[in-house]
Structure 1
């Protein structure tokens, strides 16, 4: 497998996970935003919860950054950028939890911009889902194993 085939396969694998994740989370955030923002202030006072959320977010972002160092093509760029944004967000939540809550408070009061961002991320998620799950065209048929070519039919 060449490097370009390997990078395309890796991009497809990450797109299969990141795409549906973005679609599901942003769609639920769009429709449940009032209930979520209403309860967000309850969680802002718990530094342990923010630290744990930041730790898992940082881990997820670093996994993408480490295993997807590809930047050729729209899907590869979106996967890599998503990984970096996730890692930075996880770092910020872990190290600066108060800043994370103030950012959430700003987002609560900017509903139009927040919903526009959700729609943008949902569209990115739909595109990545398509890239990850659509059948690959023009893929060469696998060659038989070297020993199979020399075998004659048994009957």
Structure 2
């Protein structure tokens, strides 16, 4: 039977991979997005992160840390988008694509925890 860490990672990992891949391909959609859409995006991030943090606030072992940290990152990113929906989004460039690649790798690590670590 899968642990809560594995179940959350099995959902969050592939989702993070899909989101980062689609963001890398479609980064220009954020150039002139309406602040309301950014706000709603932040709300989804915040709610998802809050669900993870309140149901899985574990810091050991490393696999649990990865899930909990992802929850807190979602809470922070969601809060930023909720409170600053008119702030400029990341512009295409090497640092943006490096961040996207790092988050994609994080998704691969979470997928490993969710599907292959027993």
Q: Which of 82, 87, 110 is the equivalent residue of 1:128?
A: 110
- 1:81, 1:95 → 2: CA distance? 21
The aligned residue for residue 91 of structure 2 is 108
| Deviation string, structure 1 residues 54-106 (Cα, Å, up to 9, x no partner) | 2222111100111111000222111111111111111221122123xx2x1xx
Q: Which of 7, 13, 34 is the equivalent residue of 1:19?
A: 13
| Deviation string, structure 1 residues 80-138 (Cα, Å, up to 9, x no partner) | 11111111111221122123xx2x1xx215x11111112211112111111111262xx
- 1:36, 1:115 → 2: CA distance? 9
TM-score, normalised to structure 1's length? Answer: 0.68
Is it true that 1:65 corresponds to 2:53 in the alignment? yes
Of the two, which has the highest radius of gyration?
A: 1
Which runs of no fewer than 5 residues in structure 2 stay unpaired?
none
Which runs of no fewer than 5 residues in structure 1 stay unpaired?
137-155
With over 3 angstroms needed to count, the CA separation of the structure-2 counterparts of 1:21 and 1:97, relative to structure 1, is same
The aligned residue for residue 35 of structure 2 is 47
RMSD over equivalenced CA pairs, Å? 2.0
Pairs aligned (count)? 118
The answer to whether the 8 Å contact 2:36/2:85 transfers is no
